[in-house]
Structure 1
């Protein structure tokens, strides 16, 4: 584990900021430079390749392994997660190679062989996509198995939501009794199969906007909490449940507090990507808290999370003043030299090739239509394919006990 340090680009010293940077470039923190046709063109290409790789990868890589779910769940679990990790590398490569996005990291290395909870501030609707860059460069070795806690409606999103079901992401409805049941179901399954994983949680519950910040300030005033400038007040129920559940199941080694900052261009929504507004730099500061250092009670965990958010708010204030996270330099592992280009040369032809076959060959059209119908029905009629996986596992276990 390295010491907390100055922001580094995958282990190198960052250049000095060109100007004092702040997310508050304007009232919304959005980069307001006019978008030319080159920006639109690059943005459309990026979104086509990014979402196209998800959708075409789903039909060509994920759908063929679906029958394995009914034959060998350990093999199915491994296959889905390997494919997803391969795609994450492509998502990072598109940002770094096509756009020249630089990821600057400081603090601690994420240990992928640990079972951990990762808490991240939610600056925009796309934080989870940029977080793949942090995982790619800050996990050693880069073989993490990160599950995101997501709003339940995302599971219905074609391609992306379906893949996340197959990878056992944690979908929630924001109805606590139901969410507790669903998370218990998946986390209990991970415990039973002795699975190594990380859970990414956004404790703020939503991204920072003028509207959500106003509501956060009202809540802080009502509850007597310290107001935050660059963050929303964290919601503690989900965090305390996750930590308590994993700790009691012997599935928690650490909690990683990750802070993300966008000192220059700040995209807020998916439309900004289509316009070609991509951040030149994304900065992450990572702080590891061993499970043994966490408070033993739920009330203690709530206070601990609030204290972490107050510290994070102060850290962001300093960061926006000087353009990067403070502290001495830290060392991070790089991706393999040609990993980005290998990902591009694999996923781009796959995406274009499957798309061409989808447009020209009727067997592929019927294949895609059939799986679209299957996953649409599963997504709307159930809580997701991941719960079918859990049910099959437990059914098999009950049958073995009877025999």
Structure 2
């Protein structure tokens, strides 16, 4: 039986990869075309534009959620009840281990109402040059430039973006990875810095960077935003992502499905914004404490697994298969319509060009 499984997994991986590539081909251009057609509404009726764009954006992310879910990569949520913040202005902090973090968060949020249409991602500017980059540009996510020389300008750009995009379209959730990079890339530097400054030695997370979070707090914390009470933060949601056996999955695992059925855990800690300091030194200390806590959560999980009490409160995230099918049907139908319109326009162009040549 094991030989059969080993033989079958390769054609299955090829089929999965082909389907995901095709998903990208008919979903992303369709989204771009629809938003191009709706672009005038962004000027004359921005509320309508934002609502429609948010729906299409959430449908795209639902397609991404299908990739990991169909591979048997389940997500188990544990910790605090996050229902109070689902439709509130919330800053999400997550540890960053691999290229699978973002798709898994998409899959998680896709199972909950009202999040994905109103989310804003803060990500490295290199993401702009991926296949999904054009989508994030249209959705007006924020691309942050790494490097010490770009730090001050990037923070100011983020503040401006929050004022002119996040507030303008009344986004709700902001997704931030405070570590500023993958665990494997930053671990050595983080440990060296911790040793030099007498900070705890961390193995499963790295020391977070305060810049982006401080910018969000400066713009959206009630203490700094008393004239605009419609847009201040309500909550901070701290998510700790724990992969099976401490080995992070990656995009290639999602693409080929080789890993086999497994469970990734997401542990929640929810804080009211009134519990979070806004002054830089206190905020830095608070954020460091969250990552020390993440370190302990991950260390205990990898060594002993979940306790019986935590298992009782854990919940498997499920996806709505019918909804995913209907979303794919929408993108396929839209792609067909766009293709037919493009074909007719192209034929008309060649016809008019031929007539013009003959007349000339």
TM-score over 0.5 (shorter chain):
yes
1:266/1:62 Cα in 2 relative to 1: closer, same or farther (>3 Å)? same
> Retained in 2: the 8 A contact 1:150–1:172?
yes
RMSD of aligned C-alpha atoms? 3.2
Partner of 2:138: 166
Q: CA deviation at 1:232?
A: 1.1
Counterpart for residue 313 of structure 2: 330
Q: Separation in 2 of the partners of 1:219 and 1:288?
A: 29
Residues in 2 aligned to 1:46 and 1:334: alpha-carbon distance in whole angstroms: 22
2:78 is the counterpart of 1:106: yes
Distance of 2:203 and 2:308 partners within structure 1? 18
Aligned 8 A contact 1:44 1:275 in 2: yes
* Structure 2 equivalent of residue 340 of structure 1: 321
Give the structure, 1 or 2, with the largest relative contact order (CA under 8 Å, sep 6 or more).
1
What is the TM-score with the length of structure 1 in the denominator? 0.71
Structure 1 residues 356, 40: closer, same or farther in 2, change over 3 A? farther
1:285 deviation in Å? Answer: 0.6
1:180/1:212 Cα in 2 relative to 1: closer, same or farther (>3 Å)? closer
Query: 2:60 maps to which residue?
Result: 87
CA contact (8 A) 1:140 1:333 kept: no
Q: Report the Cα offset of residue 289 of structure 1.
A: 0.6
Judge conservation of contact 1:62–1:80 (CA < 8 Å) in 2: no
User: 1:147 touches 1:198 (CA, 8 Å); kept in 2?
Assistant: yes
Check conservation: 1:114, 1:198, Cα contact below 8 A: yes
Instruction: Provide the residue aligned with 1:237 in structure 2.
Output: 211
Offset of residue 348 of structure 1: 6.1
Distance change >3 Å, CA 173–CA 296, structure 1 → 2? closer
Cα distance in structure 2, aligned partners of 1:302 and 1:193: 28
TM superposition shift of 1:361 = 9.4
Equivalent residue for 2:291?
309
> Residues 109 and 332 of structure 1 are in contact (CA less than 8 Å); yes or no, is this contact kept in structure 2?
no
Are the equivalent residues in 1 in contact too, given 2:162–2:216 (CA < 8 A)?
no
Residues 346/365 of structure 1: CA separation in 2 closer, same or farther (3 Å cut): farther
Unaligned runs of 5+ in 2: 347-360
